[in-house]
Structure 1
């Protein structure tokens, strides 16, 4: 299959928690396009897969190749349950990140990212990427190192300014100590700079070469940010992915004043639409995302100078995606009828970024389900650091219990209104829901982009008896006749 001289034409989005898991990324990469695994909370995902019994043996097979002696054995002793835990038993918790994470958590995070990339790359020579969120910053140095140990080809990052990533990847590739600046709410200049620090030499294997430096693709929502990143050699990425506000998951806030429409959704306007012709002037390869997931969208992007497109929603609902089958079937049924209700919710995410939520009964989008859930922050992936009265650093999340949030640095209770626990909700969407006392199971939260045109086109192509399509069929659909050639 022909690829652009500037890279693959199609980048599969790195979606949710384990939605873009290794089976999906591997299926896409085998076509010659860029398969991408989600790097979000992989330490928890890996631990829960092991507790489910790792029935195919994939996680254990990958861990057997992990190069740092003793780590795999310690992880298996802690989390592996032969045959899987009882369905009603809770998952064993994973330690939460801080500015100084424990050695055990660092090892689990490095190994979990290694596992995901190793499995995605297994058995073929196609490119594999991993996607991180800048807002989930404390695990980033450890996660990147684990992915690099497995030979990841691309690192993608959005949900914040990724200016620090090129230097961090450079340092890891030289086996030098690295640090990632961390914003601490309420901190003053007198407190000094806060950062999460990591020394890969503590995990180096004698005689083994440092890992190869992957390409870095910055996910942006404006030409302004792309120009600023490209202008400085220290922050200059290897390429850009330009995500429009139609894309699923987290979106950039509107560039204009905050306005709501009649249904209470944020209003985006022409200021939020990125012209690919202006992006072409930045001088680096770029891929357009958000309502570009059709053959016409790909042609439109490339005619304007893009290397190709990033596609999320069509891949999120394909056979190989990590979404729990029951949720996938429900959304596909709605898509076939042209009735998928997707809301851009500016309150749902604890990060403060707008977040697209599919409005499905029985999920956290359902107000009754949300109200019935006891507020709890036990995964802490989206916690943010804040300065405590004594000058030390604490951690809080607007989705935690209101009283707890108020006690954490005088947090305003207004910040907690409408906040969903995306950590637990996205785990549940991937079939990794936590079980709690009184037979309570954490409800899911489902995200998608607003454009289901590609999904509907693919469903119409299915032969009788098949409920969903495969990742390779998404690629063939997008590339048109060229993609359908043997």
Structure 2
């Protein structure tokens, strides 16, 4: 990366939006394709329950280094021919601080398969994107990606100070620790060091040779955070992605006192703009992200000393994306007609970070649909560990049923407007869970403000475009 950095990094979006097909297509162009590492254990379990119709998961598992683990996952989740449409997906055990074996094995296998498939058909690097706030699956997920030869790890939505040490340990198949934040009974935050030992998963299979250490690129919104990371882990960072609040997905909260606009969005000001001169002074490669997915955006980034850009929204709407085609077409047609229904929701995400959503009827962004949904927490990726009064550890999420959250000591105010991102993001890629009342989980689509410029890549008469089309368009210059 330092010697031959890409000009374009494809964003690692949603859960299964940046799937292996999209990352493979981008990497085949010589740019950096990135898979989303979010909820890959749940995603592979549902793909197997849908019958793995093209056989690609089973083919990838033939290369997995721990065959007994692969067989267990197959035995539990694979349904030849796929499950009946009206049958709910088998629930997965949730991750917890004890390191349950089934969810850890699913995470290892899911991350391995996604990266392995993205690397087929070319010899170029492939990256993976994680959210720091989804802490419980991190070490198992990263280990699976390392086993498949991931070249770059990108992480945002938090301060990932522990990741370099985790990478050092896991590339040697050594025991790793990761600090998980626990809400204390006294309101203070505690730290619990989760332990992950690769030797426990190898069973009777010899551990593979030393794994290649990937580059690590934190996503930051300010030079202050970048400087903090470099002070604390000076040898652990290979570059930065500098993301503005115009990017899709989670945004950093505004600095200073929270202010909400008349439309209900958080208000950002000059203090929230990263000082790019400071990033030039740091001496590490950096890429700009957030409404820069255009030839002009790329030129601006290069002029500012960046290696290039990270683009998400434009790739989320190309044909290789995992986004449901009907939703993809609906969003493109809205944008082509001059409508760009993007709303920065300060409440939607249980993480507390602002979250950009596309306002679409019938999705969870629609107030009536949101009110009708039966609250349930059955995936649990965003659950927060907390200390009970008796000293034991519990788990809660502001998007779970109101009564459950309150019974766990949560504040009722924290539940207002919160949406189940875990289920909604997997529904976005066509694998919704069936709820007890017989309805399916609804989507919640996240997009950046780049949606308004989608006419650079398509027309009313031809709304489909490929990842290759995106790369070629972004790399165009005025002289071309």
Residue 203 in structure 1 maps to residue 176 in structure 2 = no
Q: Which residue of 1 aligns with 2:470?
A: 474
Q: Is the 8 A contact 1:276 1:288 kept in 2?
A: no
Question: 2-side partners of 1:89 and 1:325: how far apart?
Answer: 23
Q: Given the two structures, how large is their TM-score scaled by the length of structure 2?
A: 0.96
Q: Is the 8 A contact 1:164 1:235 kept in 2?
A: no
Q: What SS is found at the alignment partner of 2:181?
A: coil
Question: 2-side partners of 1:307 and 1:353: how far apart?
Answer: 28
Residue 331 in structure 1 maps to residue 331 in structure 2 = yes
Shift in CA distance, 166/207, structure 1 to aligned 2, threshold 3 Å = closer
Question: 1-side partners of 2:172 and 2:436: how far apart?
Answer: 48
Q: Is the 8 A contact 2:432 2:442 kept in 1?
A: yes
Question: 1-side partners of 2:20 and 2:91: how far apart?
Answer: 23
Q: Is the 8 A contact 2:164 2:233 kept in 1?
A: no
Q: Is the 8 A contact 1:163 1:235 kept in 2?
A: no
Question: 1-side partners of 2:330 and 2:398: how far apart?
Answer: 30
Q: Which residue of 2 aligns with 1:232?
A: 232
Cα distance, 1:170 vs. partner? Answer: 0.7
Shift in CA distance, 247/280, structure 1 to aligned 2, threshold 3 Å = same
Question: 2-side partners of 1:57 and 1:47: how far apart?
Answer: 14
Cα distance, 1:233 vs. partner? Answer: 3.9
Q: What SS is found at the alignment partner of 2:71?
A: helix
Question: How is 1:42-441 mapped onto 2 (pairs within 5 angstroms)?
Answer: 42-186=40-184, 193-204=191-202, 205-206=205-206, 208-233=208-233, 236-408=236-408, 410-441=409-440
Cα distance, 1:450 vs. partner? Answer: 1.3
Q: Is the 8 A contact 1:238 1:284 kept in 2?
A: yes
Cα distance, 1:208 vs. partner? Answer: 2.5
Q: Which one of 16, 19, 22 corresponds to residue 18 of structure 1?
A: 16
Structure 1 alignment gaps of length 5 or more: none
Shift in CA distance, 33/4, structure 1 to aligned 2, threshold 3 Å = farther
Q: Which residue of 2 aligns with 1:448?
A: 447
Q: How many residues align?
A: 478
Deviations 1:63-84 (A, max 9, x none): 1111012111111111011111
Q: Given the two structures, how large is their TM-score scaled by the length of structure 1?
A: 0.95
Q: What SS is found at the alignment partner of 2:457?
A: helix
Deviations 1:298-340 (A, max 9, x none): 1111111101100000000000000011111110110111202
For structure 1, which segment, 351-360 or 196-205, has the greater mean C-alpha deviation from structure 2 after superposition?
Answer: 196-205
Cα distance, 1:202 vs. partner? Answer: 2.2
Cα distance, 1:191 vs. partner? Answer: 10
Question: 2-side partners of 1:103 and 1:5: how far apart?
Answer: 39
Question: 2-side partners of 1:207 and 1:41: how far apart?
Answer: 25
Shift in CA distance, 447/374, structure 1 to aligned 2, threshold 3 Å = same
Question: 2-side partners of 1:42 and 1:483: how far apart?
Answer: 42
Cα distance, 1:89 vs. partner? Answer: 0.9
Question: 2-side partners of 1:118 and 1:193: how far apart?
Answer: 33
Question: 2-side partners of 1:216 and 1:100: how far apart?
Answer: 27
Query: What is the RMSD of the two structures over their aligned residues, measured on CA atoms?
Result: 1.9
Cα distance, 1:189 vs. partner? Answer: 12
Question: 2-side partners of 1:402 and 1:63: how far apart?
Answer: 40
Structure 2 alignment gaps of length 5 or more: none
Q: What SS is found at the alignment partner of 1:218?
A: strand
Q: Is the 8 A contact 1:276 1:301 kept in 2?
A: no
Shift in CA distance, 78/365, structure 1 to aligned 2, threshold 3 Å = same
